[in-house]
Amino acid sequence: MPEEYPLVSCVMATRNRPSFLKRALRGFLRQTYPNRELIVVDDSDRSMAPLCRDLPGVRYIRLTQPSRTGTKLNLGIEAARGDLLQKLDDDDWYGPTFLASSVEHFPRRGAASTLVTRCCFLVLLRGAGVLRHSGHGWNPGSAFCFHRSLWKRAHFRDTSYSVDSFLLRDLEPRIVRICRVEEHIVVRHGRNTWTRMTTGDANDYFRRCAAYPKPLDQLVAPEDLKSLAGMLGAPAGSRRASPTT
């Protein structure tokens, strides 16, 4: 593999969400970046190993006791073969060029102090009818990309809440934000651990964001459309006119 394609280790924590995990695995396999692996760390009541078995580039770690999200992420990073690390959430959607964009924007210098994430993203709110645009200036943890040398300075905290916010607080990294909104959809399915913002309820905030002019079926693969379109409260494959705010 050429030097311009360093191994990128994606790390994903999951628990009792097989439908989300299936979609996440499809998303990983569709990534255009060639030199990648995915470490799935699972503490579900019933093992998710059959979903991961024989998938190219996917490695599965089974935990027999319920564990906090931060703990699972750290275990995945410890098992990772690459030094460039990409955090992926099992419930979000990632476009095929997502990983390639992270690598493209990762600086050649200052790796030990840099974290790459997204400036903006799309939001899929249950029952909202349309996709929403988050606006700019974000640091979503579902898109964190960083070098192992940064993580060695401070691991994810042993908690299941605010793990990303704590990491930013503990590391105070230089942040590089990517503005490619169609590469990342944050899915607000009603069981998210992130529920509050400084301005109040997170879902209330996103409901006030501008509607995105493209319908869901212009962005996602057909095999993902049924589950995601169900979130919008509309039949899979239905065409929408450009929405208004």
Domain count, the chain: 1
Domain with 171 in it: what CATH number?
3.90.550.10
Residue 193 inside a domain? The answer is: yes
Quote the domain boundaries for residue 109.
8-232
Cα–Cα nearest to 33, from 102, 99, 108, 118? 99
Q: In whole angstroms, what is the distance from residue 175 CA to residue 172 CA?
A: 9
Residue 238 inside a domain? The answer is: no
Residue 189 inside a domain? The answer is: yes
**pLDDT 10s digit of each residue in the chain, 245 long?**
345 799 999 999 999 999 999 999 999 999 999 999 999 999 999 999 999 999 999 999 999 999 999 999 999 999 999 999 999 999 999 999 999 999 999 998 999 999 999 999 999 999 888 999 999 999 999 999 999 999 999 999 999 999 999 999 999 999 999 999 999 999 999 888 888 888 899 999 999 999 999 999 999 999 999 889 887 774 444 444 333 33
